[in-house]
Amino acid sequence: MEYFYIVLFQKILVVLFCVALFWKIIRHMWSFLDIPKEPCRVLVTGATGQIGYALVPMIARGIMLGPDQPVILHMLDIEPAAEALNGVKMELIDAAFPLLKGVVATTDVVEACKDVNIAVMVGGFPRKEGMERKDVMSKNVSIYKAQASALEKHAAPNCKVLVVANPANTNALILKEFAPSIPAKNITCLTRLDHNRAMGQISERLKVHVSDVKNVIIWGNHSSTQYPDVNHATVTTSKGEKPVREAVADDNWLNTEFITTVQQRGAAIIKARKLSSALSAASSACDHIRDWVLGTPKGTWVSMGVYSDGSYGIPEGLIYSFPVTCEKGEWSIVKGLKVDEFSRAKMDATAEELAEEKTLAYSCLN
Ligand SMILES: NC(=O)c1ccc[n+]([C@@H]2O[C@H](COP(=O)([O-])OP(=O)(O)OC[C@H]3O[C@@H](n4cnc5c(N)ncnc54)[C@H](O)[C@@H]3O)[C@@H](O)[C@H]2O)c1
């Protein structure tokens, strides 16, 4: 009997050894089939501007699409910036980024849009002193109308678009209207910077690392009417996850100073730097695309300006910032979150501003 068990044990060992060896051989052979990924073509408009200049090296380093995704950068700017654009191209070459497989630097919108898989629209017309709101809107509407057509005709199928240039939500809406064959779900605008700012404020207040804070929400417009909402946000503590409201234990601060600090953060940066936010905007644009393409971590949502489907009573036909989760390259709005009276009023106010912007933008088309 004892001999039987010894033989059985030896046989099991032999089988396990064979399985392990076989597995190693398969993995070794698989590594020969490890075909490098095709480069992804990423367009950055306004590439010589502040954000563009911070953004292109991040993309070339793999911060946007991951450390194993080669990229070909397409950079567009306007004629007066052509020389500077060439300078940025020279710097990209000099930086010898291993993932950067090519650079297209052009002032021709058709060449810029050709076969791009991702388009980050940073170029736009800034508001200058003495300019009416309608004049700025009018300039940007014509830029986004023209670039929408170029993207529609020349970008790769299923191109994902992120509009950064202000008024970001409305520029994205114009782009959507004038590129009807690009699915509405592929056109988004950046509110991730506001989302990250809100997490930053909570982490500073609670003296925890920002990565321990999650599920804040930015509702609405990327403007001072946006509503940064922490009602569903949590913070990881040594005793597990805790609602942010409970951890902060100061509703007055959360309902007043916290909200205005996030809403006015852009202005505070301009006051301090004498220039608008650039590195944080570039980094947030990378966060936005990375999560959209590669997915949000389980149990976590992010804020994205997306085409409203009527969720949370927000009118369809607006690009509005919602909480979203992303999986397999698709975002979906987080449904069923409880909205209290305070939040409702703020969510409606920012929607109203977007509706007004939409009317103004359409009046510029005539
Ligand atoms: N959504 C956000 O969170 C967020 C945050 C910060 C800034 N912004 C906005 O991003 C935009 C860019 O900011 P910036 O600081 O880089 O500005 P910037 O003025 O430094 O750069 C803008 C660039 O766009 C170029 N440009 C102008 N018209 C163009 C066109 N038709 N096609 C291509 N390029 C064009 C300009 O030549 C310039 O190089 C601004 O509209 C700003 O308000 C948005």
Q: Write out pLDDT tens, residues 199-250.
A: 999 999 999 999 999 999 999 999 999 999 999 999 999 989 999 999 999 9
52 lines ligand 1 (CB under 6 A): yes
In the residue annotation, 209 being an active-site residue is answered as no
Which residue, judged by its Cα, is nearest atom 11 of ligand 1? Answer: 165
pLDDT at 325: 98
- Structural domains in the chain? 40-189 (3.40.50.720), 192-365 (3.90.110.10)
Distance 171 CA to ligand 1 centre (A): 12
* pLDDT (tens digit per residue) in 256-304: 999 999 999 999 999 999 999 999 999 999 999 999 999 999 999 999 9
Does residue 51 line the site of ligand 1, with CB under 6 A? yes
pLDDT tens-digit series, residues 118-168: 999 999 998 777 788 788 899 999 999 999 999 999 999 999 999 999 999
Q: Closest Cα to atom 28, ligand 1: which residue? A: 124
Question: Whole-model pTM above 0.85?
Answer: yes
Counting ligand 1 atoms within 8 A of each CB, the residue from 44, 58, 76, 78 with the most, and so the one to mutate, is 78
Ligand 1 centroid, distance to 51 Cα (angstroms): 7
pLDDT value at position 310?
98
Write a three-state SS string for the chain: CHHHHHHHHHHHHHHHHHHHHHHHHHHHHHHHCCCCCCCEEEEEECCCCHHHHHHHHHHHCCCCCCCCCCEEEEEECCHHHHHHHHHHHHHHHHCCCCCEEEEEEECCHHHHHCCCCEEEECCCCCCCCCCCHHHHHHHHHHHHHHHHHHHHHHCCCCCEEEECCCCHHHHHHHHHHCCCCCCHHHEEECCHHHHHHHHHHHHHHHCCCHHHEECCEEEECCCCCCEEECCCCEEEECCEEEEHHHHHCCHHHHHCHHHHHHHCHHHHHHHHHCCCCCHHHHHHHHHHHHHHHHCCCCCCCEEEEEECCCHHHCCCCCEEEEEEEEECCEEEECCCCCCCHHHHHHHHHHHHHHHHHHHHHHHHHC
Using the predicted structure, report yes or no on whether residue 327 has a pLDDT greater than 70.
yes
Atom of ligand 1 nearest to the CA of 164: 1
Whose C-alpha lies nearest to ligand 1, atom 15? 50
Which residue did the predictor score with more confidence, 7 or 233?
Answer: 233
Q: Which pLDDT score is estimated for 361?
A: 96
pLDDT tens by residue, 50-93: 999 999 999 999 999 999 999 999 999 999 999 999 999 999 99
Mean pLDDT value across residues 349-365: 96
21 confidence band (pLDDT: 50, 70, 90): confident
1 falls in which pLDDT band (50, 70, 90)? low
Q: Give the residue, 289 or 6, on which the prediction is more confident.
A: 289
Mutation test residue for ligand 1: of 74, 149, 276, 321, the one with most atoms within 8 Å of CB: 276
Q: Is residue 35's pLDDT more than 80?
A: no
> Residue 46 C-alpha to ligand 1 middle, in angstroms?
6
